[in-house]
């Protein structure tokens, strides 16, 4: 009985390592690509890429319409024969949102574009936001590491390596977002063509998902928008040279975020599984997230300047003060992710998660703008850390009640 209980509540290492292997490959190819772009382009191109990705990530969160957050829970609660239709519903939701979001996000990019870099910013925005249409949430719900590799990690890795080679041999930097766009739309199209054969498209349930999904979409957007828009906010307050070095620090920070997403997505289907003890599993998942936050934060804070110098060159090395501030931000966001995704949402406490994410934005947006204005890129990083700390303060009381009082 004890062994059976251990299997039910222990972290599923096989699932984590399966997803981690594919993500490591995709991340390595991204590092090769970004290192190539950094060494073959100017500060303004590097900054334009960072601005385009920042705006595109915000738009991509909006286009995802909360399905990355609630999709696995919906999947777990639906009948097996209805799951293909659920995926189609989610895709239609996201396409409709994309039609609205795309022109708005490109228009915002126009105001922040460095001189002569409008095409680079625009292409990067469009390519990045299309990741919101990815079928990854569906494969996460099913726990299928092979499908995640086939429709996400492998094509993204191939696109990154091909783009890196082309740029190295003289193609313009815009080759990067073009390759990403082709890969993203191609993988989504192939997966959808496979799934849609088993789906039934009905107007009433489709409208129902739109109506019930909006609160989760707002929660997801509020939680991710500030972190994703951080570079764009800093860009409005600092010089191109300062933004270039800050962008390098953000690249190292994003390596940690990728590891965090791997852990979170690997455990998401497990923590919402109704056949298990959600409280115990949430406790295990939170411990894993906190440990990753501590180890990753130490890496970002101590090794960030050296790593960024090796990857992007001495001219674009991240300042040590910036990486220290981002280290604290990573620790806080790791804890927030573990709490929100694996404890509160499985227990139906989406409103508290929404309150925390709104608090992060309320603290962070004016904090980043003000601190970056007076203290440059270091102030922007401190503002990001304070925003995540604010969210954590809001999340902790209910988390304690669920994990330690009720149990």
3-state secondary structure the chain: CHHHHHHHHCCCHHHHHHHHHHHHHHHHHHHHHHHHHHHHCCHHHHHHHHHHHHHHHHHHHHHHCCHHHHHHHHHHCCCHHHHHHHHHHHHHHHHHHHHHHHHHHHHHHHHHCCCCCHHHHHHHHHHHHHHHHCCHHHHHHHCCHHHHHHHHHHHHHHHHHHHHHHHHCCCCCCHHHHHHHHHHHHHHHHHHHHHHHHCCCCHHHHHHHHHHHHHHHHHHHHHHHHHHHHHHHHHCCCCHHHHHHHHHHHHHHHHHHHHHHHHHHHHHHHHCCCCCCHHHHHHHHHHHHHHHHHHHHHHHHHHHHHHHHHHHCHHHCCCHHHHHHHHHHHHHHHHHHHHHHHHHHHHCCHHHHHHHHHHHHHHHHHHHHHHHHHHHHHHHHHHHHHHHHHHHHHHHHHHHHHHHHCC
Mean pLDDT of 184-204: 81
Which tens digits make up the pLDDT trace of 323-339? Answer: 999 999 999 999 999 99
203: Cβ contacts below 8 Å, ≥ 6 apart: none
> Could you tell me if 318 and 170 lie in one domain?
no
> Could you tell me if 254 and 137 lie in one domain?
no
Domain boundary among 190, 216, 236: 236
In a domain, 313, yes or no: yes
Q: Mean pLDDT across the chain, nearest whole number?
A: 83
> Could you tell me if 25 and 129 lie in one domain?
yes
Mean pLDDT of 256-272: 79
More confident call, 10 vs 33: 33
> Could you tell me if 292 and 199 lie in one domain?
no
How many structural domains compose the chain? 2
- Of 163-172, 326-335, 397-406, the least confident: 397-406
- Residue 290 has what pLDDT? 95
> Could you tell me if 274 and 368 lie in one domain?
yes
Pull the structure tokens for residue 194. 């496979």
Domain boundary among 236, 256, 275: 236
> Could you tell me if 205 and 120 lie in one domain?
yes
> Is residue 234 a contact partner of residue 370, using CB atoms and an 8 Å limit?
no
In a domain, 145, yes or no: yes
- Residue 329 has what pLDDT? 96
> Could you tell me if 302 and 382 lie in one domain?
yes
In a domain, 6, yes or no: no
Mean pLDDT of 117-128: 92
**Which band of pLDDT confidence, cut at 50, 70 and 90, is reported for residue 8?**
very low
**Which band of pLDDT confidence, cut at 50, 70 and 90, is reported for residue 20?**
low
In a domain, 3, yes or no: no
Mean pLDDT of 335-362: 88
Asked whether the predicted pLDDT for residue 369 surpasses 80, the reply is yes
> Could you tell me if 221 and 272 lie in one domain?
no
276: Cβ contacts below 8 Å, ≥ 6 apart: 8, 9, 270
Which tens digits make up the pLDDT trace of 273-305? Answer: 666 677 888 888 899 999 999 999 999 999 999
**Which band of pLDDT confidence, cut at 50, 70 and 90, is reported for residue 99?**
very high
> Could you tell me if 216 and 358 lie in one domain?
no
> Could you tell me if 91 and 131 lie in one domain?
yes
Q: How far is CA 188 from the centre of its chain?
A: 18
Domain boundary among 236, 268, 287: 236
Give the N- to C-terminal CA distance of the chain in Å, as an integer. Answer: 20
Range of the domain at 296: 239-407
> Could you tell me if 260 and 222 lie in one domain?
no
> Could you tell me if 126 and 64 lie in one domain?
yes
- Residue 103 has what pLDDT? 95
Integer angstrom CA distances of residue 152 from 28, 60, 92, 181, 227: 14, 15, 20, 13, 23
pTM beyond cutoff 0.85: no
More confident call, 11 vs 166: 166
């Amino acid at each position: 009985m004890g062994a059976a209980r251990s299997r039910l509540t222990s972290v599923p290492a096989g699932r984590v390592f399966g997803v981690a292997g594919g993500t490591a490959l995709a991340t390595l190819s991204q590092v090769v690509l970004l290192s190539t772009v950094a060494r073959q382009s100017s500060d303004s191109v590097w900054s334009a890429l960072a601005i385009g990705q920042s705006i595109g990530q915000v738009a991509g969160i909006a286009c995802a319409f909360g399905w990355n957050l609630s999709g696995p829970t919906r999947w777990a609660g639906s009948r097996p024969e209805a799951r293909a239709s659920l995926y189609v519903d989610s895709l239609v939701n996201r396409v409709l949102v994309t039609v609205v979001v795309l022109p708005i996000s490109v228009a915002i990019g126009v105001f922040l574009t460095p001189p002569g870099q409008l095409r680079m910013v625009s292409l990067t925005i469009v390519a990045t936001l299309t990741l919101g249409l990815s079928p990854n949430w569906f494969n996460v719900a099913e726990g299928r590491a092979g499908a995640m590799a086939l429709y996400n990690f492998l094509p993204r890795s191939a696109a990154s390596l091909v783009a890196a080679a082309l740029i190295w041999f003289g193609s313009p930097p815009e080759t990067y977002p073009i390759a990403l766009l082709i890969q993203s739309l191609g993988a989504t199209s192939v997966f959808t063509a496979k799934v849609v054969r088993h789906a039934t498209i009905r107007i009433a349930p489709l409208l129902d998902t739109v109506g019930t999904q909006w609160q989760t979409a707002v929660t997801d957007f509020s939680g991710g928008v500030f972190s994703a828009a951080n570079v764009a906010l800093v860009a409005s307050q600092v010089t191109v040279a300062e933004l270039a070095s800050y962008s390098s620090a953000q690249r190292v920070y994003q390596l940690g975020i990728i590891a965090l997403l791997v852990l979170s997505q690997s455990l998401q289907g497990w923590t919402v599984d109704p056949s298990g003890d959600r409280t115990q599993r949430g406790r295990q998942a939170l411990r894993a997230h906190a440990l990753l936050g501590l180890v990753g934060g130490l890496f970002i804070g101590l090794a960030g300047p050296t790593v960024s110098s090796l990857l992007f060159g001495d001219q674009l090395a991240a300042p040590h003060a910036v990486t220290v501030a981002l280290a604290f931000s990573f620790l806080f966001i790791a804890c927030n992710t573990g709490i929100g995704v694996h404890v509160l949402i499985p227990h139906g406490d989406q409103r508290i998660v929404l309150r925390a994410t709104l608090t992060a934005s309320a603290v962070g947006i004016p904090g980043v703008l003000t601190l970056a204005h007076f203290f440059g890129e270091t102030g922007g990083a401190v503002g990001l850390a304070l925003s995540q700390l604010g969210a954590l303060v809001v999340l902790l009381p209910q988390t304690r009640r669920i994990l330690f009082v009720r149990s």
